[in-house]
Amino acid sequence: MTTAGKRALITGIQGFTGRYMAAELKAYGYEVSGLGSQPSDEAGYHQIDLADGLGLHALLATLQPDFVVHLAALAFVGHGTPEAFYQVNLIGTRNLLDAIANCGKTPSCVLLASSANVYGNTSSGLLDETTVPAPANDYAVSKLAMEYMANLWRDRLPLVIARPFNYTGVGQAENFLLPKIVSHFRRKAERIELGNLDVWRDFSDVRALVKAYRGLLEAKPIGHTVNVSSGNVHSLREVIAMCERLSGRKIVVEVNPAFVRENEVKTLCGDNSRLKSLVAGWQAPPLEETLNWMLAAE
């Protein structure tokens, strides 16, 4: 597929994932523009709130993108107010889809980033896209509601829904678990407070994730929902042990009951066979490689 001159719009372009997504698409010849809620003087950037329906309509009519990657979301599960998840993740996405559908040009593909959190507390084996959703917190419910709402646009827009499992990398905020752990090792802390150490998670590398998203834009499996996952799980105990090995330092782990979440999902492992069938050669690097990159970063 030739991408020269293809215009891609990334919502949430200034976020952790958005910056990597922009770099990935630019590297493959896309003209990238972005939306976000914070001010910035970066070229091709437009400050707009997803709550601003009229503003989105006017902006999309001007931009008329060939591809859209919708990353803008309220993502931190421990965020204070439940209403905010629904305002941003559900209503904000509805406003965006309405603006795209009425911009005067139908894009080739619109990728919506949902979340593997929609699967909830299901812990038996690999979770594939047919696993019945059972969201266990407001963030997950807002993402599943977004997926259902997006179905209303399926006859008008070429939608693909991605369900990423946990992913991490350099630049992710320290209120996420792996960056918090890495940061303690980088600053040579002697102890760390964590919640439940016996949760098992499927961790991908953000660099592999954005390759998956680009691959999906180009494969255009319209109407499909696709897991993005490594297919491997590691407990937090294992993550600590890897960091100890890589850094040559030991750390004392203290379990803080305040950090043990109610409704904690015990095991989340994603079946990525659909993704691999759509994006030739895609794979996630071993978690140790990602942690080493994070530990060594400037």
Catalytic center residues: 139
228's enclosing H/E stretch is strand 225-228
Task: Identify the helix (H) or strand (E) that includes residue 229.
Answer: none
User: How far is Cα 96 from Cα 157, in angstroms, rounded to an integer?
Assistant: 12
Q: What does the block give as tokens for 164? A: 């990423």
d(CA 102, CA 61): 8
Which residues face 194 on adjacent strands? Answer: 255
CA nearest neighbour of 116 among 238, 24, 23, 203? 203
According to DSSP, the β-strands at 31-36 and 7-11 are parallel
* The residue to which tokens 């690097």 are assigned: 285
CB 198 within 8 Å of CB 235: yes
H or E, element range at 194: strand 191-194
**Which 8-state DSSP code applies to residue 108?**
S
Q: Establish how many alpha carbons lie within 13 A of residue 228's alpha carbon, considering only the half-sphere containing its beta carbon.
A: 29
Q: For residue 171, with 0-12 CB atoms within 10 Å meaning exposed, 13-18 middle and 19 or more buried, which class applies?
A: middle
